[in-house]
């Protein structure tokens, strides 16, 4: 290749630049763009309410505070996820309880969480990992039977849908990420979505220093400040204008990889679709089921050829920050996925020739 391959990154056009410039001229004294985005993003998800936040981690923390999650409580989480899904639990003093994920869709299930439910369990954070989604209908039934709240972390699943329902519609509340690597971006950024009006009002109050609605300089509770800027709101509105285009580009990248791997002499799972599910394909990820395949050595070998690859998410309880929370459960699927999975370059600027170049070199690693 005669150019460097980018792992990930946003698609920025003149449209975004024009809206940002307009905001720069006349948008500093309001939250006009934030409020416009919140209304439109909620509607896109068939949700009643949306709140923007500076990042997705803040959105989760805000929701946990509004739920009253506290010291002594437990929240069930998947081993396979990023720390942003789990760290907010520790901020509250509650305990994250790690569960294994399913081998085929990489998400929590009723079976994986059922044995971890105790009298202290207050919530489950189900993560739509790499755009895949758990069976929320079964999760909702199990959690309702045990009086447990479901939280959907849809940070990696913008554009995914399960039985025609978009990721971000499930749970008491759901969250999205607008990190610089995500499908739509504000640089950093996040959003909380819910249909519960009282919960929404509580989150909105907690988001901005616990101010009185009648007297904005009267503080009723000492709370966080998780307000986004109008600059972020402007960028979010501009990217939302292009959301269908952006999702289509991501899916086309996945489709090109898939066509290159289909028919090859090895078993694999890729961020693909099925009869009931559509993947938004934030980052095309591949799990190779060959016994001899080692993701770590493959990542190192292809780096020498100018091909950046990311490892699959490492089980969180294996990391120093979370070893104190490790339980005695057998989380073998999460361990196996880490060893067999890799995330492929998925930047918007990738062309078919570059995807073919990556695929060819990867195939040589897999079948050698």
The DSSP 8-state label assigned to residue 228 in this structure reads: P
Q: Domain boundary residue among 213, 241, 269?
A: 241
List of residues 6+ apart from 93 with CB closer than 8 A: 70, 71, 72
Instruction: Give the three-class secondary structure for 310.
Output: strand
Spans in the chain with pLDDT lower than 50: none
List of residues 6+ apart from 327 with CB closer than 8 A: 97, 98, 116, 317
Length of the chain: 368
Distance from C-alpha of 288 to C-alpha of 173, rounded to nearest angstrom? 34
pLDDT in tens, 10-67: 999 999 999 999 999 999 999 999 999 999 999 999 999 999 999 999 999 999 999 9
| Structural domain boundaries enclosing 329 | 243-367
Q: What is the CATH number of the domain that holds 78?
A: 3.40.640.10
Distance from C-alpha of 352 to C-alpha of 253, rounded to nearest angstrom? 8
Strands across the sheet with 165-166, in order?
Answer: 165-166, 161-162, 277-278
Q: Are residues 251 and 226 in the same domain?
A: no
Q: What is the pTM of this model?
A: 0.96
Q: Are residues 233 and 253 in the same domain?
A: no
Torsion of CA 90, 155, 198, 117, to 10 degrees: -50
Q: Domain boundary residue among 225, 241, 257?
A: 241
Q: Are residues 287 and 202 in the same domain?
A: no
Q: Is residue 296 included in any domain, yes or no?
A: yes
Q: Are residues 158 and 39 in the same domain?
A: yes
Sole residue written with tokens 């399913």: 102
Split into its structural domains, the chain has a count of 2
Instruction: Give the three-class secondary structure for 24.
Output: helix
Neighbour tally for 255: CB within 10 Å: 15
Structure-block tokens of residue 104: 């085929």
Q: Are residues 209 and 129 in the same domain?
A: yes
* Distance, first Cα to last Cα, the chain: 22
Distance from C-alpha of 204 to C-alpha of 16, rounded to nearest angstrom? 27
Q: What is the pLDDT of residue 2?
A: 56
Q: Is residue 8 included in any domain, yes or no?
A: no
Q: Is residue 1 included in any domain, yes or no?
A: no
Q: What is the pLDDT of residue 368?
A: 67
Q: Are residues 185 and 96 in the same domain?
A: yes
Q: Is residue 297 included in any domain, yes or no?
A: yes
Q: Are residues 226 and 255 in the same domain?
A: no
Q: What is the per-residue DSSP string for 84-135?
A: GGTHHHHHTT-EEEEE---TTT-S--HHHHHTT--TTEEEEEEE-GGG----
Q: What is the pLDDT of residue 51?
A: 98
Closest to 177 in 3D by CA, of 56, 57, 282, 39: 56
Beta bridge partners of 210: none
Q: Are residues 196 and 316 in the same domain?
A: no
Distance from C-alpha of 125 to C-alpha of 153, rounded to nearest angstrom? 7
In 308-347, at which residue ranges do the beta strands (DSSP E only) sit?
310-311, 341-343
Q: Are residues 292 and 303 in the same domain?
A: yes
Q: Are residues 167 and 307 in the same domain?
A: no
Q: Is residue 77 included in any domain, yes or no?
A: yes
Q: Are residues 186 and 260 in the same domain?
A: no
Neighbour tally for 291: CB within 10 Å: 7
């Amino acid at each position: 290749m005669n150019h460097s391959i980018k792992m990930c990154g946003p698609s920025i056009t003149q449209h975004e630049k024009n809206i940002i410039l307009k905001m720069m001229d006349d948008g500093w004294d309001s939250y006009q763009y934030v409020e416009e985005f919140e209304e439109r993003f909620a509607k896109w998800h068939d949700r009643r309410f949306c709140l923007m936040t500076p990042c997705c981690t803040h959105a989760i923390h805000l929701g946990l505070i509004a739920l009253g999650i506290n010291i002594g409580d437990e929240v069930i989480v998947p081993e396979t996820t990023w720390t942003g899904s789990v760290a907010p639990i520790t901020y509250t003093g509650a305990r994250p309880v790690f569960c294994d994920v399913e081998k085929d869709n990489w998400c929590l299930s009723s079976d994986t969480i059922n044995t971890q439910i105790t009298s202290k369990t207050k919530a489950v954070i189900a993560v739509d990992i790499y755009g895949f989604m758990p069976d929320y209908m079964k999760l909702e039934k199990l959690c309702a039977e045990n009086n447990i709240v479901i939280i959907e972390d849809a940070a990696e699943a913008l554009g995914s849908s399960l039985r025609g329902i978009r990721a971000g519609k499930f749970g008491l509340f759901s969250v999205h990420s607008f990190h610089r690597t995500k499908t739509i971006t504000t640089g950093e950024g996040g959003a909380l979505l819910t249909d519960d009006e009282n919960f929404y009002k509580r989150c909105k109050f907690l988001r901005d220093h616990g101010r009185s609605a009648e007297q904005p300089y009267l503080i009723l509770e000492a709370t966080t400040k998780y307000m986004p800027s109008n600059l972020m709101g402007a960028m979010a509105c501009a990217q939302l204008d292009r959301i269908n285009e952006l999702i289509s580009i991501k899916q086309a990248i996945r489709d090109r990889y898939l066509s290159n791997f289909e028919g090859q002499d090895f078993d694999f799972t890729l961020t693909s679709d099925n009869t009931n599910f559509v993947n938004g394909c934030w980052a095309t990820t591949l799990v190779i089921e060959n016994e001899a395949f080692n993701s770590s050595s493959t990542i190192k070998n292809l780096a020498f050829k100018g091909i950046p690859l990311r490892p699959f998410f490492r089980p969180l309880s294996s990391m120093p920050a979370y070893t104190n929370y490790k339980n005695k459960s057998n989380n073998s699927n999460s361990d196996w996925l880490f060893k067999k999975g890799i995330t492929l370059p998925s930047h918007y600027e990738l062309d078919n020739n570059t995807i073919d170049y990556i695929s060819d070199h990867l195939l040589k690693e897999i079948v050698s």
